[in-house]
A and B are shown apart, each in its own frame.
Chain A
C-alpha cells in the first residue's frame, strides 16, 4: 500500500534500477539455453522456469498458482519489466481507516497495471506440443529483451502470463513416465477393491517403454496396413474384411488379479470440460466433467488466477492436433457473441493466423467493408444460417467448435468459451500440429484415405530423418493373459498427436510465437497528453472555500489561522488509447469483476476541494486505434476537465486506470 514512503522516492529509485537493468540485460542474450530435441515434460519444464526466473529477475516472476491432485505445483511465469509501470493503489493514500484493520486486499503487483496476455499448454496431458510452444515463447521473450526493440517494448508495456502446464499430473504421466494421460489425476477406486489407482499400464517386455500390444482377435477393430505393416488401421464395427483382425491395447497386465486390465488408472476428468460456461445441460443435470464446475484443483487454480489477474485481455490454450484454431463459442451458437468481438476475432486475428499457417484467407475477410455483397452471394446456397448471417463460412484454420451446420453445441464447460463469455477476454484454443503443413517437404499420397496417407508419410519421415529412432518395430511377445502377440509402436513420449521433436517442433513453435507476438502487439496502450492548467484565483493566506455558481466563483474566506496560500485551478487533460484494440471487449466492461476505465485526479493536499469534476471519473472503455472492419467503434480518446481549490504549489497527479488497458500516471506542477 502507498504511504509507507514517499512516492517520488520510489519512482526515482525504480527509474534508476530500470536503467541499470536494461544495460545488464542488453549485454547477454540467451542466458538459459533451451533445446527442442526432446519434449520437456513436467520436471524439465519446471526446472527451466526456475532457471529463467533466476537468470532474469528484473523481467520475470514465477508464481505458483495452485497444486494438482498429486500435489505438483502449477506455475505461471510472468514476463514483464518489473520496474516499469504503476498501479492505482500506489497513488491513493487511504485515510481514517477502520480500526478493525482487515488485511484482505493485497498490494497490487506492478504487472497488474499492464494489459495481460495469457498463454498456456498441456490442459490435456498427452497434448504436450503446447508446453513446448510456451517454452519457446518464453525463450524468445526473455532473450529478446534488450536486443529486439519490438520485444523490449512489449515486455515494458505488457504482462505475459505463461502457464506451460495446466495439467501437471497428466503431463508428468504422459512424458516423464511415458503413459499418455489426457485427463488430470484423481485418487479413485474405479473397481471398488479398496485400492487406489493400482492397475495402470505396465512395461511388460521390460524395454523401458510402455508401447502397444497387438494380438490376433476375431472381434478386434484393427487390421495391419498393406503399405506399411507397422501401422494399425482402425476399422468400423460393422466393416467386413478378409484380413486378420487385431486388437491393440496398452502394454498392460492385470496387476491386481481381478480379471481386468488398466481398470483403475490415475486418470481423472477432462479438464477442458470442467469450466463454468455451458457446463449444465438444459434439463438441470450435469453435462461437463467433474462433480461441479471447477471441481478439479487444476481448473480451480486457473479460475482463481484469472480472477486475480483481471488485467488479462488475451488468452491462448494450446492443444493438439490439427493445425487450426478454435475461437469461441463451442457451447452456444454464433449470436451469443457480440458482432464487434467477432470482427476482431475473424478479420484481425483470424486473417493473420491463416496467413501464418499458409491457408487461404476468405475473400470477405480481405474486404469486410463489402460484407453485404458476400452475404448476398451466400444467401441462396445451402450454407448454414449462421454463415449466411455473417457473410462467410468459417475456414478450416479458424473456426468454432459449435456445429453450425447441424446447429448443435459441441460439448460442455470449455475454457475458451468461459473466458470470453464470463471474463471478457480474447481467448482462443489452438490445436497445434498438422504434419502436412508443419513437416517441410513431406509427401502425402493424394489418393485414398488422407488420414492414413498422412500416418504413412509421418512414419516414413521419421525413418528418413530420425533414422527410425522414434518408432519401436513390433516384436513378438507372449502376454501372460492374452497369449501370443507383438509389442511395438511410437516410442513414448513420441506419438502421432504431437509435433515430432527437433526441427519439426521448432517449426510449429516459431509459427505460433509469431502469432502470439502479433496478438500481443494488438493490446491497448494508454497515454495522458495535452495537460493544460490555469490558475483562476489565488487566495491570500486564509482558509477558504469556493463554489461555482452559474459560471461564477464565489469565494468564502475563512476565519482563524490560515494554513497557507491556496489556488483555484482549472486542469484539462486528454486520455487516449494508442494501442490497436479497445480496453475492453464489446460486452467486457459490464461483466461482473470488470469495470470502466477510470481517471483519478489526486491532489497532494488532502483538504483540496473539487469545484468541478470528481476525484474519480469513469469514462467507459477507450477504443483502439485500429479500425475494426465493419464496426463503428467508440472514440479512442477522452477529454477531461476539473476545477479544484488546493494549497498553492501543492502537486496534483492524474492516474488513468484501465483494468485491462493498463495504468498510467502524470504528475502536474502548476505555475
Chain B
C-alpha cells in the first residue's frame, strides 16, 4: 500500500513537472507604452564606449548571472594567444533545449579592427535579455528560438584594437606570425605611439621639397601653393619606429591571414592561406556551427560601408547579352516596385529552379532590412572563403554580413556633393564631436628620423569604427533587423481541414498545411546539401477509418505520382503518401495534402499531426459523421 502510494506520488510529480516544463512563464512586467521603460534600467550598460576583452566578457558574465533562466555562457574555444571565445546562448530554458530550437548565429568582429561588431552583438544580447519580461515580441523570440551570440570572434586583435593605440586598419587579422615584407622575420615592425598620446596619427617631416604646409590656424597640413615661402612638409606615414633597422617603418605589422578568407567555401590559397580553417578562432566557430545544425540563419558584423551583404544561390551562366537584358529588365521592374516601396530590392541574378525560392526569400528579407536599417544597401556577398559563404553553401543556413556604419559623409556633407571636404570634416569634428579625434600638429623627437611632426586625425574611431557616441544609434536598428529575421523563422500550422463525402463510405480529406513565415522550413541549399529534414504530416485515426489507395501502410509510389501528375503536379494538392507524408513548406506557402479514407460505421475521428524540425508542430482532429 505504502509502496503504491509512493509510485503514485512520483507519477504525479512527473506529470506536474512535465506540465510545468511546457508552460511558458508569463510576462510579469509587460510594458505596452511606447514611452515606458522596457527593462533597460534593470541592467544598465554605457553604450558610448568601446569595451576591452576583460570588460566585454565581464558584461557577458554579468548578463548571464542576471538572466540565468534565459541565458547561458560558454567558451567555444581559445584564440591563438589563449583567450576564450565566449558565447552567449539566449533561449528560454524552460521551453526546451537550445539545441532543439531553430537558431540564429551572430558573430561580431571577425576582423580585429571592426570592433563595432562587438558592441552591436552585445547590444542585441542585452536587448533580448533586458526586454524579455517587458516586450511581447522579444518574449516570443526568446521562448521559441535560440540566439547564439559571439560578440568578439577575433578576440586577440579585438582587444588590442580597443585597448592600444592603433591605425584604423590594424590589427585586423588573427595573430599567426606572418612575414609581410619577405625579409625573413615575422611581425617584427609594428606601429608605435611615438608621441605617447594614446592615439596613432600621422608623422610628417620638414622638407624644403615637400608639398604640404601648415594651415593658417596651424591645425592641419594642407597643400602648399606654388611659390609658398614658409616651411614645407612631407607626410611620412602612420606613427611608428623602424624596429628591425631595415630603413622602413611599420612594414611588417602584426597579423596573419584574413580570417574572413579562411573558411572552406571558395577558399583560395592567396586570400586564405595557409590552409582552410587554419586559425583557431575561425575553426572554433565553424566546428560549433557544424555541431549545431539547428542554426538556421547567421549574421556576421563588419565595418564599414553600411551594407547588407547577403548570400545568394549560385548564378546560372549567361551570355553577356543575356546578362545585359536581365539587368535592364531588373532595373525596370525595380523602378516599378519602388513606386510602391522605396526600399524594394531586386537583383539581376538568374538562378536555377531548385534555388529560386532562396533567391526570392533573400530579396524579401533584405527589402525589410533596407527598411529597418534605412541607409544600408543590400548587396550579394562574395564567395572566396568568407564565413557567410560557408554558412550558406556548406551548412545551408541563410547568411548575412553587415558592414556597420560608414563615413561621416552622411552627417557632415553640407553641400551635398557626396564627398567630405577638409572644411566639412573639420566642422564635423568641431560641432558634432567637440574636437574629439583630432590632434593638432606638434613636434616630436623620433629616434630613427630625428625631429618630426605628428598630427591630424586620430584615425582609429574616426574612420573604421564610429566615434563611440554613435554606437547605440547603429546597434539599436541592427538588433531589430536580426530580430526581424528570427521572427521570420518558419512557423508551420494546420490551417484548415476539409472533409467531403464521396460515394459510399469513401471520404476525401484535404488538410491545409501552412508556413506563415518568410523563410521556408529548409533552405533550397540545405536540400541540395542533403542537410534538410523534411516536414511531415501524420494521420492517426480511430480504428474504423482507413486510408484507401494504400497497399500496406504506404500508398504505392507509382499511383501517387500518377495522381499528382493528373492534378497538374500542383503543389497545393498533393496526395498523401500514406500515414506519413513528407514535404517541404516554402516561405508563405499553403499546401493541401489530400487523403482518401474509408469509414466503417457511422462515426469516426482522425488526428493530423504536422511536424517540422525548424517550424514547430501542430495537430488538429476531425470527426467524421455519416448522416
Contact = CB atoms under 8 A, between A and B. Distances in A.
Contacts of A276: 267, 275-276
Interface string B445-481: 0011000000000000000000000000000000000
Contact of B273 (A300, A593, A614): A593
Interface centre among B183, B243, B244, B394 (most CB of A within 10 A): B183
Interface stretch (A7-15, A92-100, A459-467): A92-100
A659 interface: yes
B254 A102 contact: yes
A104 B187 contact: yes
A596 interface: yes
Nearest to B390: A292
A149 interface: no
Contact of A97 (B164, B243, B275, B278): B243
Interface in B233-287: 241-247, 254, 264-265, 267, 269-270, 273-278, 286
A591 B179 CA distance: 13
A422 B269 CA distance: 7
Contact of B275 (A105, A293, A596): A293
Contacts of A509: none
Nearest to B81: A104
B337 interface: no
A513 interface: no
A12 to B, nearest CB: 24
A292 B247 contact: no
B314 A616 contact: no
Interface in A592-626: 592-593, 595-596, 598, 600, 602, 606, 610, 614-616, 618
Given A92-B185, A422-B269, A595 B179 contact: yes
A447 to B, nearest CB: 49
A595 B184 contact: yes
Contacts of B448: 96
Contacts of B96: none
A606 B245 contact: yes
Contacts of B394: 291-292
A293 B160 CA distance: 31
Given A94-B243, A96-B243, A614-B247, A591 B277 contact: no
Interface residues of A, number: 45
B175 interface: yes
A291 B290 contact: yes
Nearest to B163: A100
Contacts of A381: none
A592 B243 contact: no
A307 interface: yes
Contacts of B243: 94-97
B185 A89 contact: yes
Contacts of A592: 269-270, 273-274
Interface string B214-245: 00000000000000000000000000011111
Interface stretch (B26-34, B122-130, B188-196, B562-570): B188-196
Contacts of B254: 102, 104
Contacts of A150: none
A291 B447 CA distance: 52
A573 interface: no
A95 B278 contact: no
Contacts of B270: 592
B184 A94 contact: no
B512 interface: no
A400 interface: no
A657 interface: yes
Given A96-B447, A104-B156, A610-B247, 20 more contacts: A88-B185, A94-B188, A94-B244, A95-B241, A96-B242, A96-B243, A276-B275, A284-B314, A293-B276, A295-B277, A300-B277, A304-B278, A422-B269, A422-B273, A592-B269, A600-B183, A614-B247, A615-B246, A616-B184, A616-B246
24 contacts: A88-B184, A92-B185, A92-B244, A94-B188, A98-B190, A99-B193, A100-B164, A102-B160, A105-B177, A292-B277, A292-B286, A293-B277, A300-B277, A304-B278, A422-B273, A592-B269, A596-B182, A598-B182, A598-B184, A602-B245, A606-B245, A618-B183, A657-B184, A663-B184
